[in-house]
Chain A
């Protein structure tokens, strides 16, 4: 039964990503015909519309898809690894860690040395945060311990980000603190996209091979080990992959919350609760959610730029509350 339902939902998700991607290309302060502009492009004519499309809207939409997919995928992988539906890259502090290192590299001018330093810094920060949480909690810790450790790391990182931004030489830095905690896709260029892509793709590839092992983990670490899964190697592989992909994403657009938490939750019943199938589905779901949020941000009229993380939080938090209420009802 579930085997037959999956392809339909999967097809729906894939279709949504494509449709939303094209909608994202057409949404902006100035509307112009997408079809006409594409024709101009093919005829190699340059106009202000082709420029807006290629240099502004295209990278923004592509980054939305990639970052959304990353967050969904890493959320699903983390939840499968820790066997708990509350795990997410954000809860474990990797987003804040990435943001902290990115802030240091950006505002203190290190990335003028090389633009690659920024995604690498994001990755280093994310990895450090995950390693610290793991070091604090050890091997066989409960989810409560892990969440507490994540809370501690998040708090420390947030404080350090605030400190770093206050000490930054740029007078604009202080105004940007919201960007790092709520995300912003509006300033993305093709250069940002190329810089983000390599580490993200490596992270994705590392995670894709983990599906079978995550399935085995459903039975517990000992049983999975008896089936030939190297649990320690799996754990570090997922940590590293998450750090690579989430780190690059945060370094580019700031930390966007709730996608890695809510999407795997939503889609889990649809994939029969199987961690392996959840990976791909969550990637698609994450892309859909972020595209929707970014499109909405452009459609909502506002004087000051609205952060995309505001929308994911406004949707994600109530959904999370609803989940908690439902969970309480289900428990005896």
Chain B
């Protein structure tokens, strides 16, 4: 009799908590949060991109999970009780799923480390793993405190120059990390606050000291990628350095952005040291 009461209480508690047991994600960045925080066996499906080592930090964890290509049919087949998606990707799928009555939660692409924190918390709440989320945030903040800083007035200048001339401004995750690593992001000189295109002439005029190379697919060819190898960039004094950051470290939010920050900071310090040494020599 006592056993039945305890068992019923447990069942009722489970039902009351009702943490999602079959979570589907159709966005790479929600994939990352999910792979990081979710309890084992609760992930129904993640996107195919999360299995790619170049773009997905947690790709190893994703290898054992069925993948989807963002199609509504695939998602429905898994009968999820929670669907996670981004604002701009797979829009038709998310609309359709919403119409069909699934619980769809949308996450915007994080534009700062602060937003990453907020999103981790929100994710924790949604999937019933709030404690796990807080632990992750705490570790992340601890590391962050040791390395985050602000750019000095004469800090070296930096710009991201992606194939096609795309650059990223202060109002973005990458921009925030650049700031916290102590670099001065020159994208604002080109009038780019969030995302924009800068042609080669403007790049030469702005002349940042270093460029960020964060290749989506190394060793592939297209005119957009050829632009980065334009001979003029070899002939100019500035940009002089290239800092390579693995894309998977900061394409999405998560504690791995601190790794990107550390890389950037190290690069800055190396460059500053070299500058001082060459000045002393001359």
Do A and B associate with each other? Answer: yes
Residues on A lying within 8 angstroms of B by beta carbon are 28-30, 48, 51-52, 55-56, 106-109, 111-112, 168-173, 175-176, 179, 184, 186-187, 189-191, 303-305
Give the chain B neighbours of A305 by CB distance below 8 A.
197, 199
- The tally of CB-CB contacts under 8 A between chains A and B is 83
Judge whether A109 and B221 touch: CB under 8 Å: yes
Give the chain B neighbours of A191 by CB distance below 8 A.
231
Given the known inter-chain contacts A29-B199, A51-B232, A189-B230, please indicate yes or no for A168 contacting B205, CB distance below 8 A: no
CB proximity of A43 to chain B, nearest CB, Å = 18
Most chain A CB atoms below 10 A, which of B216, B221, B224: B221
Judge whether A52 and B163 touch: CB under 8 Å: no
Write the chain B residue with the least CB distance to A107: B221
CA A176 to CA B197, docked complex, whole Å: 15
Provide the B206-230 mask, 1 if CB < 8 A to any CB of A, else 0. 0100000000110111111111001
Q: Is B164 an interface residue (CB 8 A)?
A: yes
Give the chain B neighbours of A56 by CB distance below 8 A.
200-201, 204, 232
Given the known inter-chain contacts A30-B202, A112-B221, please indicate yes or no for A172 contacting B164, CB distance below 8 A: yes
Chain B interface category by residue count: 20 to 34
Q: Is B236 an interface residue (CB 8 A)?
A: yes
Judge whether B222 and A52 touch: CB under 8 Å: no
Judge whether B236 and A51 touch: CB under 8 Å: yes
Judge whether B221 and A187 touch: CB under 8 Å: no
CA A172 to CA B224, docked complex, whole Å: 7
CB proximity of B18 to chain A, nearest CB, Å = 39
Judge whether A170 and B231 touch: CB under 8 Å: no
Judge whether A107 and B222 touch: CB under 8 Å: yes
- 8 A-B pairs with CB atoms under 8 Å apart are A48-B236, A52-B204, A106-B223, A170-B222, A172-B164, A172-B220, A176-B222, A184-B223
Write the chain B residue with the least CB distance to A184: B223
Q: Which of A171, A175, A184 contacts B220 (CB 8 A)?
A: A171
Write the chain B residue with the least CB distance to A305: B197
Give the chain A neighbours of B202 by CB distance below 8 A.
29-30
Give the chain B neighbours of A189 by CB distance below 8 A.
230-232
Enumerate the 9 nearest inter-chain pairs by beta-carbon distance, A residue then B residue, closest first. A55-B232, A170-B220, A172-B224, A170-B222, A172-B222, A169-B220, A189-B231, A173-B222, A29-B201
Q: Which of B216, B219, B223, B231 contacts A190 (CB 8 A)?
A: B231
CA A161 to CA B226, docked complex, whole Å: 19
Give the chain B neighbours of A112 by CB distance below 8 A.
221
CA A109 to CA B219, docked complex, whole Å: 9
Give the chain A neighbours of B221 by CB distance below 8 A.
106-109, 111-112, 169-170
Most chain A CB atoms below 10 A, which of B223, B230, B231: B223
Give the chain A neighbours of B224 by CB distance below 8 A.
170, 172, 175-176
Judge whether A51 and B231 touch: CB under 8 Å: no
